[in-house]
Amino acid sequence: MIHFDSDYMEGAHPKVMQRLLETNLEQTPGYGKDSYCEQAKTLIRKACGNDTLDIHFLVGGTQANTIVIDALLNHHEGVLAAETAHINVHESGAIESCGHKVLQLPSHAGKVDAGEVQEFITKFYEDETYEHMVAPGMLYISYPTEYGTLYTREELSRLHQICRNANIPLYIDGARLGYGLASNASDITISMLPALCDIFYIGGTKVGAMFGECIVANNGLLKHFFPLIKQHGALMAKGRLLGIQFSTLFTDGLYMNIAKHAIEMAMIIKNGFISNGYSPFIDSPTNQQFFTLPNALIDYLSSFATFEIWGNKGEHETTVRFVTSWATQKEHVELLIGKLNSYSNR
Amino acid sequence: MIHFDSDYMEGAHPKVMQRLLETNLEQTPGYGKDSYCEQAKTLIRKACGNDTLDIHFLVGGTQANTIVIDALLNHHEGVLAAETAHINVHESGAIESCGHKVLQLPSHAGKVDAGEVQEFITKFYEDETYEHMVAPGMLYISYPTEYGTLYTREELSRLHQICRNANIPLYIDGARLGYGLASNASDITISMLPALCDIFYIGGTKVGAMFGECIVANNGLLKHFFPLIKQHGALMAKGRLLGIQFSTLFTDGLYMNIAKHAIEMAMIIKNGFISNGYSPFIDSPTNQQFFTLPNALIDYLSSFATFEIWGNKGEHETTVRFVTSWATQKEHVELLIGKLNSYSNR
Amino acid sequence: MIHFDSDYMEGAHPKVMQRLLETNLEQTPGYGKDSYCEQAKTLIRKACGNDTLDIHFLVGGTQANTIVIDALLNHHEGVLAAETAHINVHESGAIESCGHKVLQLPSHAGKVDAGEVQEFITKFYEDETYEHMVAPGMLYISYPTEYGTLYTREELSRLHQICRNANIPLYIDGARLGYGLASNASDITISMLPALCDIFYIGGTKVGAMFGECIVANNGLLKHFFPLIKQHGALMAKGRLLGIQFSTLFTDGLYMNIAKHAIEMAMIIKNGFISNGYSPFIDSPTNQQFFTLPNALIDYLSSFATFEIWGNKGEHETTVRFVTSWATQKEHVELLIGKLNSYSNR
Amino acid sequence: MIHFDSDYMEGAHPKVMQRLLETNLEQTPGYGKDSYCEQAKTLIRKACGNDTLDIHFLVGGTQANTIVIDALLNHHEGVLAAETAHINVHESGAIESCGHKVLQLPSHAGKVDAGEVQEFITKFYEDETYEHMVAPGMLYISYPTEYGTLYTREELSRLHQICRNANIPLYIDGARLGYGLASNASDITISMLPALCDIFYIGGTKVGAMFGECIVANNGLLKHFFPLIKQHGALMAKGRLLGIQFSTLFTDGLYMNIAKHAIEMAMIIKNGFISNGYSPFIDSPTNQQFFTLPNALIDYLSSFATFEIWGNKGEHETTVRFVTSWATQKEHVELLIGKLNSYSNR
């Protein structure tokens, strides 16, 4: 069996494991007050081209989203997000459990439309009863989105401008940030992000780390964030584990290099299906590939590979998702496409 | 100026005021442990034809919705409701502030569709990732809805059956319950409600009381509700104020009688507009009447009457709402329609 | 039977009832946007000698405490209060339900000690682990306290100075404010309060209103308070009810006049017990009187009067509380003390 | 420099690291649905002598406390705990952020007294106003306590009986469980715990794991716990990391063996100070040792060792804490005591 279910099926990149092993018996102070965290922050500030950035390390993505959103919203505010956003669908109500509504916008292959964001905000304040309604207090987007799609630099700029005009922060969920930046379709780099939004996180769990996400905020945005992390039960006693991992990922371009590998593997899959006559369900340039396939083909592929059924099963055809990662082996991808080619040529 | 803005523009029905005055200097124990509350509960249990009902009095509608929903949902559950539901739109995020998501269903003139409710629940449990999602934990509907429409007895039965099958309670927001029950289009009575749902509230604020809502729950549904009321800051020190008002409203059929008056007034308005060639925006059989009117007519009517602009103003036409209540004077309604007739006959 | 259980056993002062009756059928906009609320605000600003004060009307005391504290605290902050404070003991965890800890200080007959407040704050920031602890975010006191005692002007000034130095607001729960200000032992007036604290509320429910509390805040302290009121289910549809009541109470000195009556009645009780040889359990100069009495005397008094057992019943003696109010009848007080005199002279 | 600051200064026990390395590139399903988690659960159920136990893995201690307490309490309930309890002092208000009060009991060297627990519960329900107060909904204790002390089996039995009588669960915070069970003063084993309480957690972070805590609950106690974990942002994508660590710790008695080492090291420190004439501040039989030492001695020790100042610095003497762990080197302990001996013999 070969596996394309998700990008969190393995442990950590070998270099990350090696550093964890090398430092294992060193003694450091707890709660992220160690030199490895400092080192990682320095490396990330450098990669982002801004040495004033406020950086915090957390364990997981839902945790990062919840704490950031809890930190930034006022009581009467909610977070604008696509209806397909992870925070709206797959976090078991984490945002609401902190008291805040997800204000749903239409999803366009996982993306929000700047015009619709602006329209929501404009209509909100035009409504005479707006003080009885949940105010738009920030905008959440993901890069890449839950459907593997990417915003262009121009789109991000426009969203950010709308947010600035409305005096609300723009937050980018970067659970798969590396796989977005490494895509051939991306026209941005990590160093552009601090100017394109107010706060984002660099996903580690899915991109080479054993676990860990790195929140990067413009200076002054987050207040009293340390006790809030603790209050959410998200403060690691051995904080250095996060520092060690992120400093490794941001040394010698490791983060981007391993992300590029995942993209190359994804493109082999994508092109393989296309060349066999299947059109993508969504045209994703990143590490998640969605195809609507005949159920017979799905049955055949399932005999030697695992992947995810996306949504409900159809009568004749069903949409499926193939995911690659830093750990995906080229032989597995070639095996998949080889068998697909044979199947088509029966 | 004559006013049709809302059904909470006056104080209380004179009989309610009179009883408040008569009892004003009596001394009673606090927090609803007085004989007036007991008396009101007895009268309401009698009207509902069920002497085991659990009854609690609260001050306002958002308060009632929030506390009931907070009481009934488990951490991981949300409340199903039409996207137009008051709890989803006009309660400043009160439900979310208690940690719960409003799971939005399409609105059909303010109503949810039983088939769509069933489909939501079915699909939810078919989804392999459902434990990462907010579970449907109860169903909220309003009677009449925010658009003045009514469910039939058959529709209520079907919704209740779906809820029973899913083992979740059905809750009816009755902020305007009297105006629903008194409508000619209604095929239910208050005594049917305990069998048609699990919990509902009888709106007082809009139907003759100075303030007050009466929660009626099937026995055993609400646990530790008294401290929850207190925790929400909703426990009146002088609880008897609510008992006195509701016992008055449920003596000699006052509640239904004054509701019927509001319906009669609303029908004069409805028929007046229709006979002048305007079609209702929504065909409401209750005390709220919605018409999409030419802006010129709206300007004319605004010269002597107030009413609500519903949604955003259109270029040529705009939807407006006229509301009647127990206190609406027949002369005012006749003046409105008289002037409308003259305007049309210019 | 005569009753001294509490100060919320009757309805409203007759002048308040009269105004509610006179205005009953007037039509006004909802949610406190009416002229009566404006008028009440003007009168209260005048009484407080400051026309920039931010004023909001709410229904009850627990509601007022909860919303004010929820509004003023940051996530990682708690509210300093005496361990006997109403918010710490008798509000069913309302403060915690909003996410905040009550940081308990020793109670000195219901009062906090300025030195102990300062010590708490100083020690907190001296602790190296303070970011793992709940920060003191505001100070709550009551005037009069739950034990009927009063802070002197000097004590209030010192508490306020400590709060200002710590950059946290001082909040005064004035559920019985009138009975504090009207006491002969008080050396402050309502016009001094805006300078002696940052925010306080004027209790109506216990001092002549049917219900209602009036929050008075220094300008700029409360942000987005209207939607927060709504979110807490505390926004009255017929907001004018609160405006009418408070404008009546603040016309022709009614609020203070009726409070003085309660104090006179309380002093008759206090002096009656003292002259019969009983020492007060707490030396209260306000409308609550606490005495530890022999159980036999309690049994005798209970044959014709009701009052509250304070704490647990003792073997030989028990502490009891007698409460007077604007509505207490002089004959009742004289009857109580007359019978006490007879009992003593047996 | 040698370090005795805490028991979380290193990474993981080498055997744990080795297993993480060996399994690093295996592919497993996410969210704890892998075979390593199953294996760990089987081993722990076996160690606890009960194959029906409900087991969940989490990342950290504050997280475990917060989610367990959030899961078990009803809205109107709080958690009984010693005033020195970690949840009351050092979790940044995590419990309150979930809406619940910590009901403080006196601390006796970190322990609660059964008689005082019973008295709290009895008095609570005797109070006529108890429905206005936060109800005792569960009891939290730690084993060992934050002061390194242990409950006897008899004491645990009595606490559990009191809880059963009150129909509330007893929860044991086992952040340092190994160091309690491995103490010579302990008269319990892990297999007794399921009968001595309702739910406990086995601390991994401080006892050999890189990170991780294992919640062990009697069957049926926790409802819908999986989505609650997700909602708290505490669900690891790569759940197998926790399974691998705990299965290693519960193979061949590793958990208890490494805990015994820490106790041996702690006893060398304890006896060293005692033999030099210093009495323990608290007589701890576990891995945390507290001594009140002259400031001059503290200065001397600080020249080559780090340890924690406990509380505020005194004028002449200060209390300090020395902590050992599975990773403490015998040479370091011997160096500490050797230098202490020399210092005393100057």
- Cis peptide bond N-terminal to A106, omega within 30: no
* Of D178, D176, D197, D202, nearest in space to D259 by CA: D178
The phi, psi pair for A319, rounded to 5°, reads -85, 135
Q: Which pLDDT score, from 0 to 100, does residue A226 have?
A: 98
Cβ contact, residue pair A132, C227, below 8 Å: yes
Q: Residue B251 gets which letter from DSSP? A: S
Mean pLDDT, residues D50-75: 98
User: What chain A residue is nearest to C75 in terms of C-alpha separation?
Assistant: A228
Beta bridge partners of D186: none
Query: Testing the interface with A: which of B8, B101, B119, B306 to mutate, by most A Cβ within 10 A?
Result: B101
pLDDT value of position B346: 81
Position A311 pLDDT exceeds 90: no
How far apart, in Å, are the Cα atoms of D148 and each of D88, D287, D290? 17, 7, 9
Mean pLDDT across the stretch D20-24? Answer: 98
- Stretch C229-258: mean pLDDT, rounded? 98
| Structural element, H or E, at residue C249 | helix C240-249
Shortest CA gap C222–chain B (Å): 17
Tens-digit pLDDT profile for residues C109-159:
999 999 999 999 999 999 989 999 999 999 999 999 999 999 999 999 999
- What is the structure's pLDDT at A279? 92
What does the angle CA C80 – CA C84 – CA C88 come to, to the nearest 5 degrees?
60
- Candidates A101, A103, A122: best to mutate against B (most CBs of B within 10 A) is A101
Q: Distance (Å, rounded) from C-alpha C84 to C-alpha C141? A: 10
- Measuring CA to CA, which residue among B188, B163, B161, B162 is closest to residue B177? B188
- What's the confidence (pLDDT) of residue B298? 97
Q: Give the whole-angstrom CA distance, residue B246 versus residue D270.
A: 71
Residue B132: list chain A partners with CB under 8 A.
90-92
Chain A neighbours, 3+ Cβ pairs < 8 A: B, C, D
Chain A nearest-CA distance from C131, in A, is: 5
Res. A312: pLDDT tops 80: no
What number is the average pLDDT over the span D24-53?
97
| C189 has a pLDDT exceeding 90 | yes
Query: How many angstroms away from the CA of C29 is the closest CA of chain D?
Result: 35
* C167 touches A at CB < 8 Å: no
Q: What is the pLDDT of residue A346?
A: 81
Interface check B129 vs D, CB under 8 A = no
Residues of A with CB below 8 A from B78's CB? Answer: 93, 96
Predicted local confidence at residue D202, as pLDDT? 98
**Average pLDDT over chain A, rounded to an integer:** 97
> How close A118 comes to chain C (CA, Å)?
22
A233 touches C: beta carbon within 8 Å? no
Q: Which residues of C fall within a CB distance of 8 Å from B65?
A: 233
* Dist CA C280 CA C219 (whole Å): 41
**Contact (CB<8Å) D75/C97:** yes
- Beta-strand runs (E) in C174-287: 199-203, 213-217, 280-282
Rounded to an integer, what distance in angstroms lies between the CA atom of residue D214 and that of residue A12?
A: 22
Closest chain D residue to the Cα of A23, Cα to Cα: D11
Q: Do B226 and D70 touch (CB under 8 A)?
A: no
The beta-carbon neighbor of B237 closest among C8, C20, C97 is: C8
Report the mean per-residue pLDDT for chain C. Answer: 97
Summarize pLDDT for D265-323 with one digit per residue, the tens: 999 999 999 999 999 999 999 999 999 999 999 999 999 999 999 977 889 999 999 99
Please identify among residues 53-72 of chain C the ones whose CB lies closer than 8 Å to any CB of chain A: 70-71
D125–C contact, CB cutoff 8 A: no
Decide if A75 and C231 are in contact by the 8 Å CB cutoff. Answer: yes
Confidence of residue C311 (pLDDT cuts 50, 70, 90): confident
Residue A288, strand partner residues: A323
Select from A75, A100, A133 the Cβ nearest to the Cβ of B90. Answer: A133
With CB atoms and an 8 Å threshold, state whether A133 touches B92.
yes
Taking CB atoms and an 8 Å limit, are A312 and B92 in contact across chains? no
Measured between CA atoms, how close is D162 to chain B, in angstroms? 22
Residue contact D59–A236, C-beta within 8 A: yes
Neighbours of C100 (CB within 10 A): 28
pTM of the model: 0.97
Q: Count Cβ atoms below 10 Å from residue A346 Cβ, excluding itself.
A: 5
Q: Does B123 touch chain D (CB under 8 A)?
A: no
How far from D283 is each of B153, B273, C282, CA to CA, in Å? Answer: 72, 87, 42
What pLDDT is attached to residue B165?
98
User: Closest-CA residue in chain A for B123?
Assistant: A312
Residues 132-161 of D with CB under 8 A from C: 132-134
pLDDT tens digits for C58-101? 999 999 999 999 999 999 999 999 999 999 999 999 999 999 99
Closest CA to B73 of B129, B164, B122, B136: B136
Residues in C closer than 8 angstroms to A167, CB to CB, are: none
* DSSP classification of residue B302: H
pLDDT along chain B (346 residues), means of 10: 97 98 97 98 98 98 98 98 98 97 98 98 94 98 98 98 98 98 98 98 98 97 98 98 98 98 98 96 97 96 96 88 98 98 91
- Chain C closest-CA separation from residue B147 CA (Å): 19
Test mutation, A92, A130, A308, A310, chain B, max B CBs within 10 A: A92
Please report where in the chains the tokens 């409504």 appear, as a residue: A127
Note the pLDDT of residue D314.
84
Strands C280-282 and C288-294: antiparallel
CA distance A134 to A76: 6
> Can you tell me the distance from the alpha carbon of A12 to that of C147, in angstroms, rounded to the nearest whole number?
62
Spatial strand order of the sheet with D288-294 comes to: D280-282, D288-294, D317-323, D308-309
Q: Establish, for the pair of chains A and C, how many residue pairs have beta carbons separated by less than 8 Å.
A: 41
**β-bridge mates for residue A108, sequence order:** A111
Q: Which residue of C has its CA nearest to A31?
A: C132
Chain D residue numbers with beta carbons less than 8 Å from the beta carbon of C76 are 92-93
Arithmetic mean of pLDDT, C259-274: 98
User: What is the value of ipTM here, to two decimals?
Assistant: 0.97
Tell me the residues of chain A between 70 and 109 that have a Cβ less than 8 Å away from chain C: 70-71, 74-76, 99
In the three-class reduction of DSSP (H, G, I as helix; E, B as strand; rest coil), residue A173 is classed as strand
Q: Is A109 left (phi over 0), alpha (psi -120 to 50) or beta?
A: left
pLDDT beyond 80 at C335 = yes
User: Are A131 and C71 inside 8 Å of each other by CB?
Assistant: no
Round to whole Å and give the CA distance between C334 and A234. Answer: 63
Torsion of CA D334, D336, D338, D342, to 10 degrees: 180
Q: Is D230 on the interface with A (CB under 8 A)?
A: yes
* Contact check, Cβ <8 Å, D20/A23: no
Output the pLDDT for position D313: 80
Q: What is the pLDDT of residues C163-175, one digit of tens each?
A: 999 999 999 999 9
From D91, D97, D233, residue closest to A60, measured CB to CB: D233
Per-position b or e across C236-256, b if 16+ CB within 10 A of its CB: bbbbbbbbbbbbbbbeeebbb
Question: Which residues in chain B have their CB less than 8 angstroms from residue C230's CB?
Answer: 62, 91-92, 94
| Per-residue pLDDT band at D25 (split at 50, 70, 90) | very high
What pLDDT, on the 0 to 100 scale, is given for residue C138?
A: 98
Say how many CA atoms lie within 13 Å of B328 toward its Cβ: 32
* Other Cβ atoms closer than 10 A to A207: 30
For residue A107, pLDDT over 80 is answered with: yes
Tell me what the mean pLDDT of segment D41-57 comes to.
98
Can you tell me the distance from the alpha carbon of D266 to that of A155, in angstroms, rounded to the nearest whole number? 60
Cβ-Cβ contacts under 8 Å, D21 against chain A: 17, 21
CA quadruple C157, C162, C166, C170: dihedral sign: negative
At residue D268, the pLDDT reads 98
Residues of B in contact with C3 (CB under 8 A): 27
State yes or no: pLDDT of A345 exceeds 90.
no
Find out whether D59 and D234 touch, Cβ atoms under 8 Å.
Answer: yes
Average pLDDT (A273-282) is 96
What six digits make up the tokens of C301? 């008094």
Residue D345 has pLDDT above 90, yes or no: no
Q: How much helix, strand and coil, in percent to the nearest 5, is found in chain C?
A: 40, 20, 40
CA dist., res. D139 & res. D133, Å (int): 17
The answer on pLDDT for D116 being more than 90 is: yes
- Chain A CB contacts of D5 under 8 Å are 29
CA nearest A68 in D: which residue?
Answer: D233
- Specify the pLDDT at position C18: 98
